[in-house]
Structure 1
Amino acid sequence: MPSEIPDEPHECPTNLTGLLARMQRAGQREQSVSLDALLDSVGRRSFAPFLLLAGLITLAPVVGDIPGVPTLMALLVGLSATQLLVGRDHVWLPRWLLQRRVARERFVQATRWMERPASWVDRLIKPRLTWLTRPPAHLPAALTCLLIALAMPPMEVVPFSATGAGLALTLFGLALLANDGLLALLGYLLTAGTLGVVITTIA
């Protein structure tokens, strides 16, 4: 049955290291981790957590390589981006999507692998070129992420293209989280390059 996502009592972490730490604690008492628990752990008050979660899961070794995972993350981004573009205050996600799960051991292994690069990235991000991240600039970012989401299912058959999509989503998520317009600019460039490769390969 469809589910309306409530506001969570805490804010989204302000850096990538904090986000990974919260993801690792999601649903600690369960043998598997659900998307619902992950969203509860990272926050649902803005578009950034949805992008970061989808991007990191797509990039994560072991987890992102599971067939169908990029498509599920595309659904997450597509639904949230569409609702942002039409001006909804709350993001609706279907219950069957929220209940998708991955084995905890596999998930924690993947997130721990990302801790070292995350600490390096955190030292680089800062508020700059904020006109590329503050409203109404979040709308073209959401539209670009929607285009990425639409292209992600065929990316499962184009080698390495899903990695480009995951990195672009992560860049946009970090850009909106930290008001770092340089990351948004890199996200636009990476999106153009990735979509160009996919279109050329499939055509």
Structure 2
Amino acid sequence: MSDPANLQQVLDRISQSALGHRRVTFGDIIDTVGSRSFGPVLMTIGILLLSPISGIPGVPTLSGLLILFISAQILILNEGFWLPAWILERPLPSDKLLKGIRFLEPAAHFIDARLHARLTPVVRGPGSYLLGSVCMVIACAMPLMEIIPFSATAAGFALAVFGLAMISLDGLLALLGLMFTAAIATLILVNVL
């Protein structure tokens, strides 16, 4: 199966993995969206953090571990990635996942119609290392996001934007995601310190 090419295809694949099941595992979702490409998996983790699932204790931290494992492997190997079984076998409630997807679906067509390949060096080659590094920083901050209200949702939005930028080869979207991440990080640091 080829990697998804837009947001709607990623949402459709996540829904397929959850339909008819009371619980779905991270591994099921990753297998469905494609485990060879960083963009779809990063976007999937971002979507999970945007959904009501992010309110379950431990999910932001587990998501951070996923991103950290994947980002490190992408930066070092620049190929596919491996995740330990204890992460892949972690179950998620399908009803909350599907509720989050239904919430995002109306925007998918609107978003997909506006994305296209531009400023591709930002999401390919050296630019992909910058995005991978920013994702690692977000991943390291995820345990702290368990106690700061709505910060995991903001991180999920940033990760989903980076993943979507990689899928659509839209460097402008990636730059907007970097600006959003810097603004949110500054806001959190100013309020915490």
Query: Normalised by the size of structure 1, how large is the TM-score?
Result: 0.89
- Report the equivalent of 2:109: 119
Q: Which amino acid aligns with 1:152?
A: M
Q: Distance in 2 between matches of 1:94 and 1:167?
A: 25
Q: Distance in 2 between matches of 1:155 and 1:90?
A: 28
- Percent identity between matched residues is 38
How many residue pairs align between the two structures? 193
Q: How far off its partner does 1:88 sit?
A: 5.4
- Report the equivalent of 1:37: 28
Pick from 124, 129, 146 the counterpart of residue 119 of structure 2: 129
- Cα root mean square deviation, aligned: 1.5
Q: Distance in 2 between matches of 1:172 and 1:28?
A: 26
Unaligned runs of 5+ in 1: 1-9
Q: Secondary structure at the match of 2:4?
A: coil
- Between the two structures, name the one with larger relative contact order (CA 8 Å, sep ≥ 6): 2
Q: Distance in 2 between matches of 1:27 and 1:165?
A: 23
| Structure with more of its chain in helix, by fraction | 2
- Report the equivalent of 1:141: 131
Q: Distance in 2 between matches of 1:87 and 1:185?
A: 24
Q: How far off its partner does 1:87 sit?
A: 1.8
Encode CA deviations 1:46-103: one digit per residue, 9 max, x unaligned: 111221011000011x212222211111111111001111125331211111011112
Query: Normalised by the size of structure 2, how large is the TM-score?
Result: 0.94
Q: Distance in 2 between matches of 1:64 and 1:145?
A: 17
Pick from 64, 80, 91 the counterpart of residue 74 of structure 1: 64
Q: Distance in 2 between matches of 1:142 and 1:88?
A: 10
Q: Which amino acid aligns with 2:117?
A: P
- Report the equivalent of 1:57: 48
12-21 or 189-198, which deviates more: 189-198
Unaligned runs of 5+ in 2: none
Q: How far off its partner does 1:134 sit?
A: 1.6
Q: Which amino acid aligns with 1:180?
A: D
